[in-house]
Amino acid sequence: ARLKASLNKTRQKLLGPLEEAVQFHKRISPEFYEELEEILITSDVGMKTTMLLMEKLKAKVKAERVDDTEAVLGYLHTIITELLSVPPPAVLDSDSPLAILVAGVNGVGKTTSIAKLTAHYKEKGKSCLLVAGDTFRAAAIDQLAIWAKRTGADLVSHQAGADPGAVAFDGISAANARKTDVVIFDTAGRLHTKVNLMSELQKVHRVVTQNLGPRQLVKFLVLDATTGQNALEQARVFHEAIGIDGIILTKLDGTAKGGIVLAIVVELGLPIVWLGIGEKAEDLRRFDAAEFATALLG
Ligand code: GDP
Protein backbone atom coordinates (compact mmCIF):
# COMPACT_ATOMS: atom_id res chain seq x y z
CA ALA A 1 0.00 0.00 0.00
CA ARG A 2 2.89 2.36 0.80
CA LEU A 3 4.52 1.53 -2.52
CA LYS A 4 1.30 2.15 -4.37
CA ALA A 5 0.84 5.51 -2.63
CA SER A 6 4.44 6.43 -3.48
CA LEU A 7 3.76 5.76 -7.11
CA ASN A 8 0.57 7.85 -7.23
CA LYS A 9 1.99 10.58 -9.46
CA THR A 10 3.69 8.16 -11.82
CA ARG A 11 0.53 6.10 -12.05
CA GLN A 12 -1.56 9.17 -12.83
CA LYS A 13 0.80 10.08 -15.63
CA LEU A 14 0.91 6.58 -17.08
CA LEU A 15 -2.24 4.69 -16.22
CA GLY A 16 -4.65 7.60 -16.66
CA PRO A 17 -3.77 8.21 -20.33
CA LEU A 18 -3.45 4.47 -21.00
CA GLU A 19 -6.98 3.85 -19.74
CA GLU A 20 -8.26 6.78 -21.80
CA ALA A 21 -6.63 5.40 -24.93
CA VAL A 22 -8.10 1.95 -24.28
CA GLN A 23 -11.59 3.42 -23.91
CA PHE A 24 -11.30 5.82 -26.81
CA HIS A 25 -10.00 3.37 -29.40
CA LYS A 26 -11.80 0.18 -28.35
CA ARG A 27 -10.21 -1.74 -31.25
CA ILE A 28 -6.49 -2.21 -31.66
CA SER A 29 -5.12 -0.11 -34.52
CA PRO A 30 -1.89 1.58 -35.60
CA GLU A 31 -3.26 4.84 -34.13
CA PHE A 32 -3.84 3.12 -30.80
CA TYR A 33 -0.30 1.75 -30.77
CA GLU A 34 1.07 5.18 -31.64
CA GLU A 35 -0.77 6.71 -28.74
CA LEU A 36 0.55 4.06 -26.33
CA GLU A 37 4.06 4.69 -27.56
CA GLU A 38 3.74 8.39 -26.89
CA ILE A 39 2.35 7.82 -23.39
CA LEU A 40 5.21 5.51 -22.50
CA ILE A 41 7.88 7.85 -23.83
CA THR A 42 6.48 10.85 -21.94
CA SER A 43 6.40 8.76 -18.74
CA ASP A 44 10.22 8.55 -18.59
CA VAL A 45 10.24 4.97 -19.82
CA GLY A 46 12.62 6.15 -22.54
CA MET A 47 12.68 5.56 -26.28
CA LYS A 48 14.59 2.29 -26.37
CA THR A 49 12.58 0.61 -23.64
CA THR A 50 9.32 1.87 -25.12
CA MET A 51 10.23 0.30 -28.47
CA LEU A 52 10.99 -3.01 -26.79
CA LEU A 53 7.75 -2.89 -24.82
CA MET A 54 5.72 -2.12 -27.94
CA GLU A 55 7.38 -4.92 -29.86
CA LYS A 56 6.56 -7.42 -27.13
CA LEU A 57 3.04 -6.08 -26.81
CA LYS A 58 2.35 -6.40 -30.54
CA ALA A 59 3.69 -9.95 -30.55
CA LYS A 60 1.45 -10.85 -27.63
CA VAL A 61 -1.63 -9.28 -29.25
CA LYS A 62 -0.90 -11.23 -32.41
CA ALA A 63 -0.33 -14.51 -30.59
CA GLU A 64 -3.52 -14.11 -28.57
CA ARG A 65 -5.48 -12.97 -31.64
CA VAL A 66 -7.26 -10.20 -29.78
CA ASP A 67 -8.45 -6.97 -31.36
CA ASP A 68 -9.95 -5.48 -28.25
CA THR A 69 -7.91 -2.74 -26.52
CA GLU A 70 -9.24 -3.91 -23.14
CA ALA A 71 -6.75 -6.80 -23.08
CA VAL A 72 -3.73 -4.54 -23.47
CA LEU A 73 -3.32 -3.33 -19.88
CA GLY A 74 -3.12 -6.91 -18.63
CA TYR A 75 -0.52 -7.74 -21.28
CA LEU A 76 1.49 -4.67 -20.35
CA HIS A 77 1.47 -5.78 -16.72
CA THR A 78 2.87 -9.18 -17.70
CA ILE A 79 5.49 -7.76 -20.05
CA ILE A 80 6.63 -5.11 -17.56
CA THR A 81 6.91 -7.72 -14.81
CA GLU A 82 9.04 -9.92 -17.07
CA LEU A 83 11.29 -7.05 -18.12
CA LEU A 84 11.82 -5.94 -14.52
CA SER A 85 12.64 -9.43 -13.27
CA VAL A 86 16.42 -9.11 -13.25
CA PRO A 87 17.51 -11.05 -10.15
CA PRO A 88 19.44 -9.21 -7.44
CA PRO A 89 22.87 -10.55 -6.34
CA ALA A 90 22.13 -13.89 -4.67
CA VAL A 91 24.57 -13.15 -1.86
CA LEU A 92 22.20 -10.50 -0.49
CA ASP A 93 19.86 -13.21 0.69
CA SER A 94 22.53 -15.51 2.04
CA ASP A 95 24.12 -15.37 5.49
CA SER A 96 27.55 -14.53 4.11
CA PRO A 97 29.34 -11.57 5.69
CA LEU A 98 29.07 -8.63 3.34
CA ALA A 99 31.01 -5.62 2.18
CA ILE A 100 28.65 -3.13 0.59
CA LEU A 101 30.10 -0.30 -1.47
CA VAL A 102 27.66 2.54 -2.00
CA ALA A 103 28.31 4.98 -4.84
CA GLY A 104 26.35 7.86 -6.32
CA VAL A 105 26.53 11.59 -6.95
CA ASN A 106 25.94 14.02 -4.09
CA GLY A 107 22.36 14.71 -3.19
CA VAL A 108 20.83 11.52 -4.58
CA GLY A 109 20.22 10.15 -1.07
CA LYS A 110 23.36 8.09 -0.55
CA THR A 111 23.78 8.82 3.17
CA THR A 112 20.09 8.31 3.85
CA SER A 113 20.15 5.01 1.95
CA ILE A 114 23.17 3.81 3.95
CA ALA A 115 21.27 4.65 7.13
CA LYS A 116 18.23 2.75 5.88
CA LEU A 117 20.33 -0.29 4.93
CA THR A 118 21.99 -0.22 8.34
CA ALA A 119 18.62 -0.09 10.08
CA HIS A 120 17.50 -3.03 7.93
CA TYR A 121 20.49 -5.19 8.85
CA LYS A 122 20.34 -4.17 12.50
CA GLU A 123 16.73 -5.24 12.60
CA LYS A 124 17.79 -8.63 11.28
CA GLY A 125 20.21 -8.87 14.20
CA LYS A 126 23.36 -8.26 12.12
CA SER A 127 26.30 -6.21 13.31
CA CYS A 128 27.20 -3.27 11.07
CA LEU A 129 30.19 -1.03 10.53
CA LEU A 130 29.99 2.17 8.52
CA VAL A 131 33.05 3.54 6.73
CA ALA A 132 33.09 7.28 6.08
CA GLY A 133 34.72 7.22 2.66
CA ASP A 134 33.50 10.62 1.50
CA THR A 135 36.46 12.44 3.04
CA PHE A 136 35.88 15.37 0.69
CA ARG A 137 32.91 16.63 2.70
CA ALA A 138 33.28 17.08 6.45
CA ALA A 139 29.49 17.18 6.67
CA ALA A 140 29.25 13.72 5.09
CA ILE A 141 31.54 12.30 7.78
CA ASP A 142 29.46 13.97 10.51
CA GLN A 143 26.21 12.74 8.99
CA LEU A 144 27.43 9.17 8.85
CA ALA A 145 28.62 9.40 12.47
CA ILE A 146 25.16 10.54 13.52
CA TRP A 147 23.52 7.65 11.70
CA ALA A 148 26.00 5.15 13.12
CA LYS A 149 25.14 6.31 16.62
CA ARG A 150 21.41 6.29 15.95
CA THR A 151 21.37 2.80 14.45
CA GLY A 152 23.92 1.32 16.84
CA ALA A 153 26.50 0.63 14.13
CA ASP A 154 30.30 0.95 14.47
CA LEU A 155 32.04 3.70 12.56
CA VAL A 156 35.46 4.04 10.97
CA SER A 157 36.31 7.58 9.89
CA HIS A 158 39.31 9.77 9.30
CA GLN A 159 39.52 13.54 9.19
CA ALA A 160 38.17 15.52 6.26
CA GLY A 161 40.70 15.56 3.44
CA ALA A 162 42.16 12.17 4.33
CA ASP A 163 42.91 9.56 1.68
CA PRO A 164 39.69 7.62 0.95
CA GLY A 165 41.76 4.52 0.11
CA ALA A 166 43.29 4.59 3.59
CA VAL A 167 39.86 4.93 5.23
CA ALA A 168 38.60 2.04 3.14
CA PHE A 169 41.57 -0.08 4.19
CA ASP A 170 41.02 0.69 7.88
CA GLY A 171 37.32 0.01 7.48
CA ILE A 172 37.60 -3.39 5.85
CA SER A 173 40.43 -4.39 8.22
CA ALA A 174 38.39 -3.40 11.29
CA ALA A 175 35.30 -5.23 10.01
CA ASN A 176 37.28 -8.41 9.36
CA ALA A 177 39.09 -8.24 12.71
CA ARG A 178 35.77 -7.73 14.55
CA LYS A 179 33.93 -10.28 12.39
CA THR A 180 31.27 -7.66 11.66
CA ASP A 181 28.42 -9.05 9.57
CA VAL A 182 27.97 -6.09 7.25
CA VAL A 183 30.46 -3.32 6.47
CA ILE A 184 29.10 -0.45 4.40
CA PHE A 185 31.35 2.01 2.56
CA ASP A 186 30.16 5.52 1.87
CA THR A 187 32.00 7.09 -1.08
CA ALA A 188 32.45 10.58 -2.49
CA GLY A 189 29.99 11.89 -5.08
CA ARG A 190 31.14 15.37 -6.03
CA LEU A 191 30.45 15.91 -9.69
CA HIS A 192 32.67 18.80 -10.70
CA THR A 193 35.81 16.67 -10.89
CA LYS A 194 34.37 13.61 -12.56
CA VAL A 195 37.65 12.08 -13.66
CA ASN A 196 39.26 12.35 -10.22
CA LEU A 197 36.09 11.11 -8.64
CA MET A 198 36.04 7.96 -10.74
CA SER A 199 39.72 7.18 -10.19
CA GLU A 200 39.23 7.70 -6.45
CA LEU A 201 36.25 5.37 -6.53
CA GLN A 202 38.25 2.78 -8.44
CA LYS A 203 40.99 2.99 -5.84
CA VAL A 204 38.54 2.46 -2.96
CA HIS A 205 37.04 -0.43 -4.92
CA ARG A 206 40.49 -1.95 -5.39
CA VAL A 207 41.39 -1.63 -1.70
CA VAL A 208 38.13 -3.26 -0.63
CA THR A 209 38.37 -6.03 -3.24
CA GLN A 210 41.96 -6.88 -2.27
CA ASN A 211 41.16 -7.07 1.44
CA LEU A 212 37.76 -8.73 1.40
CA GLY A 213 38.75 -11.68 3.58
CA PRO A 214 35.72 -13.95 3.99
CA ARG A 215 33.31 -11.33 2.66
CA GLN A 216 31.27 -11.04 -0.48
CA LEU A 217 31.25 -7.65 -2.14
CA VAL A 218 28.11 -5.94 -3.37
CA LYS A 219 28.34 -2.64 -5.22
CA PHE A 220 25.24 -0.49 -5.10
CA LEU A 221 24.64 2.68 -7.07
CA VAL A 222 22.18 5.16 -5.61
CA LEU A 223 20.04 6.95 -8.18
CA ASP A 224 17.47 9.69 -7.62
CA ALA A 225 14.20 8.89 -9.40
CA THR A 226 13.30 12.57 -9.69
CA THR A 227 16.20 13.12 -12.10
CA GLY A 228 14.59 10.90 -14.73
CA GLN A 229 16.75 10.20 -17.77
CA ASN A 230 19.76 11.86 -16.08
CA ALA A 231 19.92 8.90 -13.72
CA LEU A 232 20.60 6.62 -16.70
CA GLU A 233 23.60 8.67 -17.71
CA GLN A 234 25.01 8.55 -14.17
CA ALA A 235 24.50 4.81 -14.03
CA ARG A 236 26.49 4.30 -17.25
CA VAL A 237 29.48 6.23 -15.90
CA PHE A 238 29.58 4.44 -12.54
CA HIS A 239 28.93 1.03 -14.07
CA GLU A 240 31.85 1.53 -16.42
CA ALA A 241 34.14 2.60 -13.57
CA ILE A 242 33.54 -0.15 -11.02
CA GLY A 243 30.83 -2.50 -12.32
CA ILE A 244 27.58 -2.01 -10.40
CA ASP A 245 25.67 -5.01 -8.98
CA GLY A 246 22.41 -3.32 -8.19
CA ILE A 247 20.55 -0.03 -7.91
CA ILE A 248 19.06 1.73 -4.93
CA LEU A 249 16.43 4.06 -6.39
CA THR A 250 15.50 6.91 -4.05
CA LYS A 251 12.78 9.56 -3.87
CA LEU A 252 10.25 7.48 -5.73
CA ASP A 253 7.66 9.04 -3.45
CA GLY A 254 6.24 12.18 -4.94
CA THR A 255 7.80 11.97 -8.41
CA ALA A 256 5.95 11.36 -11.66
CA LYS A 257 9.13 9.94 -13.17
CA GLY A 258 8.83 6.39 -11.81
CA GLY A 259 8.86 5.12 -15.40
CA ILE A 260 12.64 5.51 -15.19
CA VAL A 261 12.65 2.18 -13.34
CA LEU A 262 11.97 0.42 -16.64
CA ALA A 263 14.65 2.32 -18.51
CA ILE A 264 17.27 1.55 -15.85
CA VAL A 265 16.58 -2.18 -15.78
CA VAL A 266 16.13 -2.66 -19.52
CA GLU A 267 18.85 -0.35 -20.85
CA LEU A 268 21.51 -1.18 -18.28
CA GLY A 269 20.52 -4.74 -17.46
CA LEU A 270 20.98 -3.91 -13.78
CA PRO A 271 18.57 -5.05 -11.10
CA ILE A 272 16.87 -2.50 -8.90
CA VAL A 273 17.30 -3.93 -5.44
CA TRP A 274 15.96 -1.27 -3.10
CA LEU A 275 13.45 1.53 -3.40
CA GLY A 276 13.57 4.65 -1.24
CA ILE A 277 10.06 5.91 -0.57
CA GLY A 278 10.65 8.55 2.09
CA GLU A 279 13.21 10.21 4.33
CA LYS A 280 12.94 7.99 7.39
CA ALA A 281 15.12 4.99 8.21
CA GLU A 282 12.24 2.59 7.62
CA ASP A 283 11.32 4.03 4.21
CA LEU A 284 13.16 1.40 2.22
CA ARG A 285 11.49 -1.42 0.28
CA ARG A 286 12.95 -4.44 -1.47
CA PHE A 287 12.09 -4.14 -5.13
CA ASP A 288 9.70 -6.75 -6.47
CA ALA A 289 8.91 -6.72 -10.19
CA ALA A 290 5.30 -7.95 -10.00
CA GLU A 291 4.49 -5.74 -7.04
CA PHE A 292 5.96 -2.76 -8.85
CA ALA A 293 4.00 -3.48 -12.05
CA THR A 294 0.82 -3.76 -10.01
CA ALA A 295 1.50 -0.51 -8.16
CA LEU A 296 2.15 1.15 -11.52
CA LEU A 297 -0.79 -0.16 -13.49
CA GLY A 298 -3.33 -0.49 -10.68
P1 GDP B 1 23.65 12.32 -0.33
O2 GDP B 1 24.25 13.65 -0.62
O3 GDP B 1 23.56 11.48 -1.57
O4 GDP B 1 24.28 11.59 0.79
O5 GDP B 1 22.13 12.60 0.02
P6 GDP B 1 21.35 12.55 1.41
O7 GDP B 1 21.26 11.17 1.92
O8 GDP B 1 21.91 13.58 2.33
O9 GDP B 1 19.90 12.97 0.93
C10 GDP B 1 19.61 14.18 0.26
C11 GDP B 1 18.16 14.58 0.56
O12 GDP B 1 17.27 13.63 -0.01
C13 GDP B 1 17.85 14.59 2.04
O14 GDP B 1 17.02 15.70 2.32
C15 GDP B 1 17.10 13.28 2.28
O16 GDP B 1 16.21 13.36 3.36
C17 GDP B 1 16.36 13.14 0.96
N18 GDP B 1 16.04 11.73 0.64
C19 GDP B 1 16.85 10.67 0.58
N20 GDP B 1 16.19 9.55 0.22
C21 GDP B 1 14.89 9.91 0.03
C22 GDP B 1 13.69 9.20 -0.38
O23 GDP B 1 13.65 7.99 -0.66
N24 GDP B 1 12.55 9.97 -0.46
C25 GDP B 1 12.53 11.29 -0.18
N26 GDP B 1 11.36 11.95 -0.30
N27 GDP B 1 13.63 11.98 0.18
C28 GDP B 1 14.80 11.30 0.30
90 Cβ contact partners less than 8 Å away, ≥ 6 residues apart: none
- What is the model's pLDDT at position 225? 95
223 Cα: distance to centroid of ligand 1 (angstroms): 10
Decide whether any atom of ligand 1 lies within 6 Å of the 142 Cβ: no
Calculate how far, in angstroms, residue 286's C-alpha sits from the geometric centre of ligand 1.
17
In this structure, the residue with its CA closest to atom 20 of ligand 1 is 109
Q: Is 186 annotated as a binding residue?
A: yes
Please, which pLDDT band fits residue 287 given cuts at 50, 70 and 90?
very high
pLDDT at 229: 87
- Alpha carbon separation from 291 to 82, 84, 226 (Å, rounded): 12, 10, 20
- Residue 265 to residue 83: CA distance in whole angstroms: 8
Atom of ligand 1 nearest to the CA of 254: 26
Report the first-to-last Cα separation within the chain, whole angstroms.
11
Mutating to test ligand 1, I would choose from 279, 280, 284 the residue with most ligand atoms within 8 A of its C-beta, which is 279
What pLDDT digit, counting tens, does each position of 187-243 carry?
999 876 667 899 999 999 999 999 999 999 999 999 999 998 899 999 999 999 999
Q: Residue 106 Cα, ligand 1 centroid: separation in angstroms?
A: 10
For residue 55, give the 3-state DSSP assignment.
Answer: helix
Q: Determine which residue's CA is closest to atom 13 belonging to ligand 1.
A: 109
What is the DSSP code string of 164-221? HHHHHHHHHHHHHHHT-SEEEEE----STTHHHHHHHHHHHHHHHHHT-TT-EEEEEE
Q: Say whether 272 sits in a helix, a strand or coil.
A: strand
**CA-CA distance, 269 to 21, in Å (whole number)?**
30
Confidence (pLDDT) at 192: 66
- 48-84 residues labelled b (16+ CB within 10 A) or e (exposed): ebbebbbebbeebbeeeeeeebeebeebbbebbbebb
pTM as predicted: 0.96
d(C-alpha 248, C-alpha 221), whole Å: 6
- What is the C-alpha to C-alpha distance for residues 87 and 89, in angstroms, rounded to an integer? 7
The answer, yes or no, to whether any atom of ligand 1 lies below 6 A from the CB of 276, is yes
pLDDT at 53 over 80: yes
Q: How far is the CA of 203 from the centre of ligand 1 (A)?
A: 26
Gap between the Cα atoms of 153 and 148, Å rounded: 5
The 10s digit of each residue's pLDDT in 3-37 is 999 999 999 999 999 999 999 999 999 999 999 99
Q: What is the largest CA-CA distance in the chain?
A: 66
- Expressed in angstroms and rounded, the spacing between residue 276 Cα and the centre of ligand 1 is 9
Q: Read off the amino acid at residue 2.
A: R
Residue 246 has pLDDT above 70, yes or no: yes
ipTM, interface predicted TM-score of the complex: 0.99
pLDDT at 168 over 80: yes
